[in-house]
Amino acid sequence: MIDTSTRNDNAASDRSVDTAKAQDAAAPEVATAPASAPCASGAPGEVVPIERMSFGSAAVGHLSDGKTVFVEGAVPGDVARVELTEEKPRFARGRAAEILEASPDRVAPPCAAGCGGCPWAPLAYEAQLVAKRANVVDALVRTAHMDAARAEALVGSCVPSKRQWGYRNKLELSCGADGAGRLILGMRPEGGADVVSLDACPLAHRNIEGAPKALRGALRYLSGGSDLGLFRVGVRGSLRTRDVEIALWTTPGPFPRAAAAKTLASALKNTSVVRVVADPGRARKVKKVEAISGKGCWEEEVAESRLLLSAPSFAQVNTAQAEKLVELVLAGLEVEAGDYVADLYAGAGTFTLPLARAGAEVVAVESAGSSVRDLRRNAERAGADIDIIGGDAARELPELGELDAFVVDPPRAGLAEGVVASIAAASPRRVAYVSCDASTWARDAARFEQEGYRLIRATPVDLFPQTYHVEVVSIFERSGS
């Protein structure tokens, strides 16, 4: 993550809160006590006008002494009585114990599960878009140390999602137990230990929205009181291909495959059930994938490409908005027939196949084994002649030679040390950088400019309505091109 020690107080407090694993992602309930009532701690809360959203679940205001405070459960324009939960020398954290004046941008969310999956749901959608763009501008100013006027000019309006709810093609459900020891499926709020049980998720496509309740009953029946080693359940559903895949993530050991296929078929109409044998935890090292029934993979249509995806392989959860990413990348690179283009962190081919279809000679680099296999299969199905390299981008990049253009779509941590210099050494005319984290993207933007590549535009794209996450498609051009 970024070192905040050299930034001003507000920047330090912003990033400290935004990266804190203990931050509660669920908006707390708003108290209805009269304005004079003390907070739950016994001390009177301070009245705080709320100014903006942070890059996180909290909104931002200032205490009477000028200290920045990050307030859960508030939105810009609220006047809130704030109960402090943590206080540090340069910032504080708190919760909205009471909303004294509601913002005109405050709305009633359709879901009150409190699982932490949609922390910005109380904020009107247009205000969400404005806040996301502001966070991208802020990242350039604070992290890349860019002039504020230039940052404002470079960052376009946030591209809205056609669906504000019901947009997710994937649910990742954690497994837990209720008070009686029975299996529950739901979400684990950021920084929380317990799983919040769900019956349905309004963020998900209609064909998988009710999957948590349906699968909970089926898996309780399947287990029959025994331990299946189940720690996670993934469900992917496509509105375009009608494919629905259930992925059961389990620890190694015996598993009732035939019974699972029969039970899950009656619980949720699916085209595939797979078992992913892996170690639990954040690393999730996959040992093997077993096809229990059906196709053994999931198919989605993105930007005129039919992609087959294995259960561990990454795919954007908002298909329609993923197509916006592809459009912006192709338009920004201005690829011509015969251009030699590298797609780093290529995944299963979201950008690779459209680049090849545009006439480019494409070399794709991907480190995840399942994605490499999927990419090769998808390229073959499309009849695309693509040079596919299974390996780490930082290691493989120096061997690629000179290129006309690059696409980079790295994980949240951004580009590894030295990758920007290696890209610059390949002397491409333009680089399209797609990012899911504005802070690490801004850090890398500064590195590109130090290497002679000027940021010419950045477009936020909202793939994740009701959350603080935003994708950024940015275009860098070699100086003198």
Does the annotation place 209 within a ligand binding site?
Answer: no
Q: Which one is catalytic: 39, 118, 201, 436?
A: 436
- Which among 191, 225, 193 has a CA at the least distance from the CA of 85? 191
CA 38 to chain centre: 38
SS3 109: coil
316 appears as a binding residue in the annotation? yes
409 is in an annotated binding site: yes
Owner of token pair 């070699």: 478
**Cα–Cα distance between 318 and 163 in angstroms, integer?**
9
* Number of other residues whose CB lies within 10 A of the CB of residue 398: 13
Question: What's the chain's length in residues?
Answer: 481
CA distance readout (Å), 188 to 25, 43, 274, 458: 10, 30, 23, 33
- Cβ neighbours of residue 452 under 8 Å, at least 6 residues apart? 424, 478, 479
Which residue, among 346, 350, 384, 339, has the nearest Cα to 364 in the 3D structure? Answer: 346
Three-state secondary structure along 1-38? CCCCCCCCHHHHHHHHHHHCCCCCCCCCCCECCCCCCC
Distance between the two ends of the chain, CA-based, in angstroms? Answer: 32
Closest residue by Cα to residue 72 from 468, 471, 470: 468
345 is in an annotated binding site: yes
Sheet of 170-177, strand order:
196-197, 183-187, 170-177, 230-237, 244-250, 272-278, 286-294
**DSSP state at residue 160:** P
Residue among 290, 407, 262 at smallest CA distance from 340: 407
Task: Report the alpha-carbon distance of residue 356 to residue 377 in Å, rounded.
Answer: 15
Active site residue 436: yes
Hey, what are 226's tokens?
Answer: 């025994």
Residues designated as active site: 436
**Binding site: what residues are annotated?**
316, 345, 366, 409
**Binding site for S-adenosyl-L-methionine: what residues are annotated?**
316, 345, 366, 409
